[in-house]
Structure 1
């Protein structure tokens, strides 16, 4: 059983990375969330009945863990990270080659609610409405409606940000 679990995690680890990158603020947060997701997957693994694809099951566990973790974190007193400027250390995490449109999309996605982030992540992963429905736990019709609303919301956020930059 342990070997099967390890193989599944290795095969679909990209799912966990995507969720952690979406919901983790700092590198440490992402690492902590990664560990928490793997732990929750391990706990849930004995009850996995293969009624859905492994990737669908993993997305559901990972997103639920991330959202639960986010809610717990938002109830804690605010933590402030020490910036690289305060240490006079260059920011090694910046990617100058990243184009402006991708940066603006990422910024706009950050403004979404946790459920909206989950839906748009799955949509950008080219999951079908049926798969998104199964992972998130809403109807297929509701998935379509929410995706359209999210697209409109993202467009407004991006337009507002561009206007403010001028």
Structure 2
């Protein structure tokens, strides 16, 4: 195996949790999540030779993964197949959680799926403990704009979850 390929695979292995989270946030069907996961790795590999190391690999991977997820979500082919996933599929990623945790995770991911692409990205970065400055740099918007948009996204998410709980 070539040195570049080995280096790439080691970095992907170290950061695969990020790819899983983005796949789950942007796709609500287990098969589509797996497809998106593979597409993110493929797109990252295609552009890896252009990664100059001016930023951390994780920063570059976040951006690549989010851009790939947005394009993937918008593709006409995938849009027609989106549907809600079952608790059984969700449990694959959360084997150590109990039934209540599974229900709460399903509620949260179902709510996240209803957000816009930018709101999903904001919530993802928030859940990953990115600072406002880091989010602004990732998304190419001002830090103030991040705070405003993030507060609105969290409010939307809370509203959606409350509606789901009342059903």
TM-score calculated relative to the size of structure 2: 0.81
Unaligned runs of 5+ in 1: 85-90
Question: After superposition, where does 1:81-96 map in structure 2 within 5 Å?
Answer: 92-93=88-89, 95=91, 96=99
Within 5 Å, give how 1:132-147 maps onto structure 2: 132-147=135-150
Shift of the alpha carbon at 1:99? 5.7
| CA shift in 2, pair 1:92/1:136, >3 Å | same
- Tell me, which stretches of 5 or more residues in structure 2 are unaligned? 92-98
- The equivalent residue for 2:35 is 32
- How does the TM-score come out when normalised to structure 1? 0.81
Structure ID, larger Rg: 1
Structure-2 separation of matches of 1:101 and 1:3: 38
Match of 2:13 among 10, 14, 17: 10
Count of residues in correspondence between the two structures:
156
Answer yes or no: is the 8 Å Cα contact 1:56–1:131 preserved in 2. no
What SS does structure 2 have at the residue aligned with 1:25?
A: coil
- Give distance in 2, aligned partners of 1:125 and 1:23: 15
Q: Deviations over 1:146-166 (max 9, x none)?
A: 111112212222333334x2x
Which structure is higher in RCO with an 8 Å CA cutoff and minimum separation 6? 2
Corresponding residue for 2:108?
Answer: 105
Indicate the RMSD between aligned Cα atoms, in angstroms. Answer: 2.5
Choose which of 149, 152, 157 in structure 1 pairs with 2:155: 152
